[in-house]
A and B are shown apart, each in its own frame.
Chain A
Amino acid sequence: MKVPVSITVNGRRHEHEVEPRLLLVHFIRVLAEQTGTKIGCDTSQCGACTVLIDGVAAKSCTTLAVQADGAEVTTIEGLADGEQLHPLQESFWNKHGLQCGFCTPGMILAAHELLRTNASPSEAEIRHGLEGNLCRCTGYQNIVRAVQDAAGAAADRK
């Protein structure tokens, strides 16, 4: 069986007939050709595949494309406003919140979710909020600093 789905990825609508078993992460990477979203564990543990579905963070390796039919999906490619990086991207850059960068797209979207629900998190709340995202390189310190920096920048802008 094939099912028609229409998913808007980073502002562009993609319409395809897909097998219901197709995962959202494969829809994004293969059909929408947005390969910033990574597949790490493929078992919903690592968060590398985190994207926003209608603005809310989800693990796209544990979501079927059919479940996102009609939704707006935002991936790391969709965060920047043209040449203008998103404040979280700026902060990860400035605070060196990455090494190999594999976890970074998911980490930034998980951080986006945290700041959406808690605009000025404490350090403990940042660590707790990023619980679903694993990084094999950084030891997390600079990731936490990057999120603190982004939260601070958002507060300054107010």
Chain B
Amino acid sequence: MFAADFDYYRADSVAAAGRLLAEHPGAKLLAGGHSLIPLLKLRLSAPAAVIDIGRIAELRGISVDGGTLRIGALTTHAEIAASADVQRHARALAEAAGQIGDPAVRNRGTIGGNIAHADPASDLPTVLQALGATLDIAGPHGERPVGIDGFFQGVMTTALAADDLLTAIRIPTAGQSQGSAYVKFPHPASRYAVIGVAASLTSGTGGGWRTVLTPGASRETVCSNASVAIGGLVPAPARCGAVEQALAGKPLSDETFAEAAAAVGGDLGDDLLGDVFASGEYRKAVAPVYVRRALAAAASRVG
């Protein structure tokens, strides 16, 4: 399959990419190409120009600064999955990146491309939603931070404008008593998410998990802070407010997780995605299982 012909420009800096975007309205940015090239080949997309940002060194890499984990937009899924910093500070993200597609896909695909493309079956948007990420976006009027809430607006639709460039993703590092996990029902052929659930749970006295000492009872930890997101079966990753509410102040137990997971139906809305492999109704029916597993996995990591 051949893409429709396009002109090709290579940017060696964010500033150069911005100039090229201004010169070529309607141009598409190319990072790893693992979402864009399939679209070009199928001619679902036929831009007049493609701007290759894949070699911009300043967009690559992972660093930790104070309480913030910063990941450059061009960092590959393989680099994220293998990063000790990501494993330590945002376990769910490393876990999700390591489950994307297959090794060759993970070597080329980037976190920035994954987010900008916003495929509802993608893994990383769901994780970043649960981890409360902030996105750094460079546009014609400079760079601005954009919160993850409201960034994903629907199927392949985000708050990015055509001349915006995502430069980095910032995530608050996990606290001492915080644990996160990503659990996925992969499509058996494509490995994309049929359902993906990310959960981040925090413990601690007062603001977090609280150790409750009841006379005669064993020590119990309770949850006062939970952030849960689901993707794959909805047009854009959804925060699971009903699940989070059902967790608040409850002991860290399998019963709590099952009960909270059962509430997820209320978080899904009416616009359910399905395909020949798994209908929307089926996905909705099994969603609580994945929510329960994600909660249990996150809880097992609360330090």
Contacts and interface: CB of A to CB of B under 8 A. Distances in A.
Interface of A: 1, 3, 19-21, 23, 42-45, 47, 50, 56-59, 62-64, 66-67, 110, 113-114, 117, 129, 131-133
Contact of A64 (B7, B37, B101): B37
B41 A45 contact: no
Interface in B1-23: 1-8, 10
Instruction: Provide the main secondary structure of the chain A interface.
Output: mixed
A87 B191 CA distance: 30
B117 interface: no
Interface of B: 1-8, 10, 30, 33-34, 37-38, 40-41, 50, 52, 54, 101-105, 107-108, 189-191
Given A47-B102, A132-B102, A58 B3 contact: no
A1 B7 contact: yes
Contacts, number: 76
A56 B101 CA distance: 16
Contacts of B6: 1, 20-21
Given A20-B5, A58-B107, 12 more contacts: A1-B6, A21-B4, A21-B40, A50-B104, A63-B108, A64-B33, A66-B10, A67-B52, A113-B107, A129-B103, A131-B103, A131-B191
A114 B103 contact: yes
Contacts of B41: 42-43
A1 B8 contact: yes
| Interface-centre pick from A1, A20, A43 (highest chain B CB count, 10 A) | A20
A3 B104 CA distance: 26
Query: 7 closest Cβ contacts across the A-B interface?
Result: A132-B102, A20-B8, A21-B3, A131-B102, A1-B7, A57-B104, A59-B104
Contacts of B40: 21
20 contacts: A3-B8, A21-B3, A21-B4, A42-B41, A45-B189, A47-B104, A50-B104, A56-B107, A57-B103, A58-B104, A63-B37, A64-B30, A64-B37, A66-B10, A67-B54, A110-B103, A113-B103, A113-B107, A129-B103, A132-B105
